[in-house]
Structure 1
Amino acid sequence: MAHFLFILRLGPLAFAQKTFNGSLPILVSAPYSWTKFASIIFLDQPLNTGFSITSTSKCTDDLQASNYVYEFLLKWFDDYTEFISNPFYVSGDSYSGIIIPVIVQLISDGNETANKQLINIKGYTLGNPATFPEEKNYQIPFSHGMGLIPDELYKSLKENCKGDYQNISPTNELCVQYLTMFKKLVSGIYDLHILEPLCGLDSPNQQQLFGERRSLGEDFVTLKNDDSICQESRVAKLELSFYWANNPKVQEVLHVIKEKIERPWLRCRRTMKNTTYKMTLMNSIPYHINLSSEGYRSLIYSGDHDMLVPFQSTQAWIKSLNYSITDDWRPWIVDGQVAGYTRSYSNHMTFATVKGGGHTAPEYKPKECYHMFKRWITQQPL
C-alpha cells in the first residue's frame, strides 16, 4: 500500500521514535529515500486498499485493477503535462509481480494505439514478485539451503514428491508424510524474512493482534503481543504506522474522505468489505516476454531471506525466458561490502539479490536498495 511504502520502505519519511508514547508519532526525513533522485507517485491499489475509494464498481479483478491504474495515470499526466517527457518506470513488489507487467503492457499498447507518447514508459522494477503458480515449490530447496530442514528430509521430499509440492495426490502417502514434517519444522519461521521473529503482524491472523476501534489512545489499536523481542523488531515500527495513519489530523492533511472510510487503516487488509476482488491472472511470464521483445528495461530483485517468494523461483522464471547473459553472476558492492549478487541479460533485464533482505527488501536493507535502484535507474552497472 502507498502509505506503507511512503513511510517504511522507500519514501521520504521515517518514524523518529521506536515505540508509541501516546502522542502523534514523529516523522523525520528518511536518509535513503528513492525520492532523493526520482519523482514517485505512491498509489493505493486495488480499490479499497489503504485510503482508496470508489464511487462505481465494488467488484474488480487483476486486469480491471490494472486498467484502473492506467486510467489514473492518463488523467494524472493530463493534469501535470510538464512531466510527460520524463522517463517513466512502474514499480512494485510481492503480488505486484502479477499487476505491474500488465500495467506496463497497457501503457505500451496505449502509446502505440494513439501513435504518440502518452506516457514515456521506459521499464519497470519488481521486488520478490509473485509471478507464476508453482513458486511455492521452491520453498523446499530454499529451506534446505538455509538450514531449516535436514539433508535426509530434503532428499526424501525430492524422491517422493518429484519436485511438485503443491499438487499432491492423496495416494502418495510418503510425499504427504514428508511434506507434513516440512511444514511442522518451518511453522515457527516468519516466512517474509526467516531471521525476523514470528510476531504475527503480517499474517492472516493480524486481526487477532489488533483491535479496530476508531479513536486514538486507549480506545484505539493495541498491540497484544507483549513479547519484548517483537517489540524491538519491525513490529514496533508497524504499530506506529497504525497510530499515525489513523490520526484524524493526519487523515485531514492527506485529504482522506472520512465518511467513505469504513474501517481504520490496516497494514495489510486481507479482506475488503463490500469489495469482491478476484485473482484471475495467475502467470505474468507472458507479459515479461512481450515487454522484453519491445525493449523495455527491467530490474527484478530478491531479498535473499524471503521464503514466501524465494529467490530460486524468481531465478527459475527468468531463466525460462532463455535470454543470453550479458553480465554474468557477480557481487554488487555498497561501501566496500557485498550487498548482493547480480546478473544481466540481453533482454535488458537485470536480476539482483539483496543480501539479508526479506520479502520487502527496501524495508530491511534501505541503504543497499537505495544504491541498487539509483545505479539501475541512471543506467550504471550495479
Structure 2
Amino acid sequence: MSILNSTTAVPNISNLLPTTSALNQSCSPEDEFLSVPFAVFYSVLFLFGLVGNLLALWVFLFLHSRRNSVRVFLINVALADLVLVACLPFRVLYHALGNHWPLGPHMCKLVGNLFYMNMYVSITLLGLISLDRYLKTQWVQGGRGSCGRRWLRSSRWSVVSCGVLWAISLMAVVPMITLAEGNEEQGKCFQYKPRTEARSKAYFNLFLVGIFWLVFVVLLVTYGRIACNLLKASRDRPDLPNAMRYARTAKKSFVVLFLFTVCFVPYHSFRGVYVRSQLSDPPCEVRRFVDRINEVMLLFSALNSCLDPVMYFLLSGSVRKATIQTVSHVFCARTDTTVTTGSSTTEFHKTSQSSTYALATPRGSVGLIPSLHLKTSLEVVPCAQRPGLCDYEG
C-alpha cells in the first residue's frame, strides 16, 4: 500500500520539462546591444535608397528616351528596390524599440516576406539584364534567324519576362503571408525561428538560395564573355576610333560583378548554415552566433538597393547624360539666361538641342564615339550594328 502511494505521489515528468516556447524565450538569439546600430544602418539605407531609386525611376520613365528591353528591366529593378526600401522603416522601428514588434503578427509576415520577395526579384532581373546583353551580342550579330532577331531587338520579351517574374513571385509570397507557421512569438519579428515544425518554409528558403547561385553563374559567364570579346576587339584593332571605349566598357562589366558579389554572396554563402540550424536543435550559443552573422550579412544585401542607382549612373552613359543635363538645367538655367546674350545664347540652344538629339538617337554610351560623321560600317561604328552593346554600358 505504501508502494502504491509513493508511486502515485511521483509527479509527471512531462509536466516538468520546459515547452518549446519556453525554451525559445529563455534562449533569445537576438543581441539587444546590436539593436541601435541596426536601426542606424537601416535608416541610412532607407534614405539613400529612397532618393536614389526615385531619381532612377524618374529618369527611366520621363528622361531616358530609348525604348529597349534593358530600360524595361531597369524600371522593374528600381520598382523592386523601392518596395524593399519601403520595408526598411519597419526594421528601424523594430530595432529602435529594443527588438520589440508592436504591429501584430500579420504585419510582420507582410513586411518580412515583401522584403525577401523584392530582393530576389531584383537579383533575378539583374541576371536577365546580363542574359539579354549576351544574347544580343551573340544571336543578333550572328544573324541567327529574323524572328529571333526581331524578338530580341524589341522590348516585348522583357515585358513578358518581367510580368511572369512578378506573377510567380506574388503567387509564392501570398501563401507565406496568409498561412501560419506555428512558431510565432508575441511582440517579436525578424527574429531567429526554429523550423522543425515548418520544414517547407526552410526548404523554400534553400530553393531561393539555389536560384541566387544560378543567377550568379549566369552573371559570371555572360559578363565574362562580353568583357573578353570587347577586350579582344580593342586589342586586335587598336586603331579603331572606339577601341578605347571597348576596353573601358569591358572593365566596367566587372564593376557589376563586384557589387553583386559584395552585396549578395556573403549572405547566400552563410544562408545554408542558417537554415540548417533552424532545422536542427542547436545550443543557445550557436543560435546567437548564427543569428548575429545572418543579420550582419542581411545588411549587405539591403545595401544593394542603394548601390543599384549608383551603378546606373556610373555605367550607363545615356542615363548619366540625362541626369546631369536635367540637374544642370534646374540649377543653372536662371544663371545661364542672365549671363548669356546674343550669339552665345544661340550657341547654348544649339548645343542643348544637339545633346538632346544625341540622347534620343538609338545609340548607347558605348557607341558615343567622336567619328560620328565618318562612313558608317561595322568596324567604324560597330555600336550601330551591335544592339547588345548599346543598351547598357557596364
Classify the TM-score, shorter chain: under 0.3
Q: TM-score, normalised by structure 1?
A: 0.22
Rg: which structure is higher?
Answer: 2
Whose helix proportion is higher, 1 or 2? Answer: 2
Higher strand share: 1
TM-score (norm 2): 0.21
